[in-house]
């Protein structure tokens, strides 16, 4: 149920505001318009034709844990004698949509709006009215809850032009993670600039830092000596890292084989995403390297 909020201004003037659940996610080129209905009612306390200045920000979560961005209205808001509706618009990126999905965790979505309103010049006020009565301001916080099913329908309706990015949490406080994160952000910038081979090379640098953080990791030869079904998580992680490293390596070389790799946005994004996913994983504990040369223990069939 949408909640109505009453803003009280000087001169005994009122403005009720109701922010409804989002009704449209309009796809764009990397950024999209998330649209909410915005209902007004002056309750006869403000004459027709008075400009209402509106600003504010959108937050995510019941406790306003994540800032999403500023919102605006599709057009200037002017009062009417009767209740009226305008459209509130928030610009969200592919990455932000991915974060929304991550925070939602297959549940409902909770939004919170900061609404700052100021009433423009009102000719109905007496000439001796104070400044606060002529240009009053008011603020309110408007929560909006959207059920899981309604949000999923909204995503499905706009899926033809919308792509979701994968959100990979990488710490910016630890020096190693910060270095890897810097390389990955640089790789994304290069993809956006159309420098696809350079993007893969930059992401590969993050993988080099990861490799230095795994001094006890076994060699690929040792890993392949273990039967595929008997490999542990740490062994499979190391083998996956080796495969991704091999896939991303040609971009940094100028030999004839490397020249056969034609990097484009899709393949470069695949390489960067694979490296980012590895960087985000907790590093496994590797046993004594000699353990990898031993025969694996046969699994029990009981």
Which residue spans of the chain are classified as CATH 2.60.40? 4-157
Name residue 17's beta-bridge partners. Answer: 5, 40
Task: Look at residue 132 in the predicted model and tell me its pLDDT.
Answer: 80
Task: Look at residue 67 in the predicted model and tell me its pLDDT.
Answer: 94
Task: Look at residue 301 in the predicted model and tell me its pLDDT.
Answer: 39
Which residue spans of the chain are classified as CATH 1.20.120? 175-293
pTM reported for the whole predicted model: 0.64
Domain 4-157 coded CATH 3.30.519: no
Unique residue bearing structure tokens 């800032």: 67
Task: Look at residue 171 in the predicted model and tell me its pLDDT.
Answer: 60
Question: How open is the CA angle 192-196-197, to the nearest 5 degrees?
Answer: 150
Task: Look at residue 127 in the predicted model and tell me its pLDDT.
Answer: 82
For the record, the structure tokens of 116 come out as 């700052």
What parts of the chain have a pLDDT lower than 50? 160-162, 164, 290-302
Quote the crossing angle between the two packed helices 175-192 and 265-280, to the nearest 10°: 170
pLDDT in tens, 104-128: 888 899 999 999 999 988 888 888 8
Report how far apart, in Å, the C-alpha atoms of 286 and of each of 159, 170, 213, 222, 283 are.
42, 22, 12, 13, 9
- Sorted by sequence, the CB contacts under 8 Å of residue 267 that are 6+ apart come out as 196
pLDDT in tens, 15-46: 999 999 999 999 887 788 999 999 999 999 99
162-165: long-range pairs with CB below 8 Å, 24+: 162/25, 162/27, 162/32, 162/94, 162/97, 163/94, 164/94, 164/97, 164/98, 164/101, 165/93, 165/94, 165/95, 165/97, 165/98
- Sorted by sequence, the CB contacts under 8 Å of residue 46 that are 6+ apart come out as 13, 14, 15, 79, 119, 122
Q: What is the CATH number of domain 175-293?
A: 1.20.120
């Amino acid at each position: 149920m949408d909640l109505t909020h009453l803003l009280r201004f000087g001169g005994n003037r009122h403005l009720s505001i109701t922010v409804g659940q989002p009704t449209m996610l309009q796809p764009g080129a990397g950024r999209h318009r998330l649209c909410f209905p915005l209902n007004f009612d002056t309750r006869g306390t403000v004459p027709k034709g008075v400009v209402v200045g509106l600003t504010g920000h959108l937050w995510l979560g019941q406790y306003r844990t994540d800032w999403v961005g500023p919102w605006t209205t599709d057009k200037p808001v002017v009062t009417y004698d009767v209740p009226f509706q305008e459209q509130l618009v928030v610009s969200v990126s592919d990455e932000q949509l991915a974060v929304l999905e991550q925070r939602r965790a297959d549940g409902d979505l909770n939004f919170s709006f900061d609404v700052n309103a100021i009433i423009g010049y009102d000719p109905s006020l007496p000439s001796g009215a104070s400044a606060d009565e002529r240009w009053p301001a008011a603020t309110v916080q408007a929560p909006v809850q959207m059920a899981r099913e309604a949000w999923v329908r909204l995503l499905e309706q706009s899926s033809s032009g919308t792509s979701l990015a994968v959100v990979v949490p990488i710490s910016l406080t630890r020096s190693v993670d910060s270095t890897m994160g810097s390389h990955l952000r640089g790789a994304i910038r290069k993809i956006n600039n159309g420098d696809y081979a350079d993007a893969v090379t930059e992401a590969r640098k993050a993988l080099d830092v990861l490799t230095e953080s795994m001094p006890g990791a076994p060699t690929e030869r040792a890993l392949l000596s273990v039967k595929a079904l008997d490999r542990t998580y740490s062994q499979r992680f190391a083998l996956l890292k080796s495969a991704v490293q091999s896939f991303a390596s040609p971009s940094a070389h100028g030999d004839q084989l490397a020249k056969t790799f034609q990097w484009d946005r899709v393949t470069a994004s695949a390489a960067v995403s694979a490296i980012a996913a590895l960087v985000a994983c907790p590093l496994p504990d590797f046993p004594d390297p000699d353990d990898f040369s031993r025969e694996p223990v046969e699994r029990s069939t009981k």
